[in-house]
Chain A
């Protein structure tokens, strides 16, 4: 507990890490572009006045994809060491789903 693990990287390691970080950052920008794109499509398809039965599932799917992109890229789930974070977030999502399902079906109208 008293010892913090800080080991200095060698020059090669450092350069390698830097390169990977740069690539990763470029990746993030791509992900961002995708998210903007999805948001725009969702927005446009509602504005265009298409059938709700088509649009509703579509935009929900887009929202889910966007959230996955945030979590896996912006919040680094795609890197290792996030098992527990994923476990708790997926459990939360599952409970959230059950609750919302209940509230739109058996809230007693």
Chain B
């Protein structure tokens, strides 16, 4: 692969992430990795479902008493919107419009940071109430599930930021296009997991 090749929007391939063998391998490998991640999160969900509301005798905390849906709803909206903005970024990537792509990724990062801020606030709030990681099995499983998702958000954000900085001077080429594409796939996957966290942990936690 030659990094010096200059592309115009017209000579830029329609699927830059799959235009090289490396790109093809990376995309497929990443999808397969996401399959593994799916099972990983399933394990965390399963454990949460088994341990939710379980704690020492007479524990005061429960999903009903703790969760505040409006906050979770706003977080969901932020993450959903950031998913769309990263779609925009990929749209511009395919059009070989580097500046627009970077801008949309920046928007995505800002939205992601907003989500992360709210999550940290939420955790802080619970810990303040005395609902901690070590307080009960419920606490351990809740923080592990939601925290692992939060960790993924952090990794996703770091990935986007590193990509933006590393390539800010040199623009798009067939070497970094797959990297951008994978980062955006990762971001969508994070959103997919959150949809289930919102539904299964928060909404259904408050239900019965």
Chain A residues with CB under 8 Å of chain B are 1, 4-9, 11, 14, 17-18, 21, 24-25, 28-29, 32, 35-36, 39, 42-43, 46-47, 52, 55-56, 59-60, 62-63, 66-67, 70-71, 74-75, 81-82, 84-85, 88-89, 91-93, 95-97, 99-100, 102-104, 107
Contact = CB atoms under 8 A, between A and B. Distances in A.
Contacts of A4: 1, 19-21, 174
Nearest to A73: B87
A107 to B, nearest CB: 5
B208 to A, nearest CB: 5
A67 B1 CA distance: 36
B39 A92 contact: yes
A53 to B, nearest CB: 9
B195 A75 contact: no
A33 to B, nearest CB: 9
Contacts of B14: 9, 17
A6 B13 CA distance: 6
B69 interface: yes
Interface of B: 1, 5, 9-11, 13-14, 18-21, 28, 31-32, 34-36, 38-39, 41-43, 45-47, 49-50, 69, 73, 76-77, 80-81, 83-84, 87-88, 91, 94-95, 174, 185, 188-189, 191-192, 195-196, 198-200, 203-204, 206-208
A15 to B, nearest CB: 9
A28 B31 contact: no
A66 B198 CA distance: 12
A74 B87 contact: yes
Given A25-B91, A63-B196, 9 more contacts: A4-B21, A5-B20, A28-B84, A32-B84, A36-B77, A46-B206, A88-B34, A103-B49, A104-B49
A46 B38 contact: no
A75 B27 CA distance: 11
Contacts of B35: 88-89, 91-92
B32 A1 contact: no
A4 B28 CA distance: 17
A79 to B, nearest CB: 9
B49 A46 contact: no
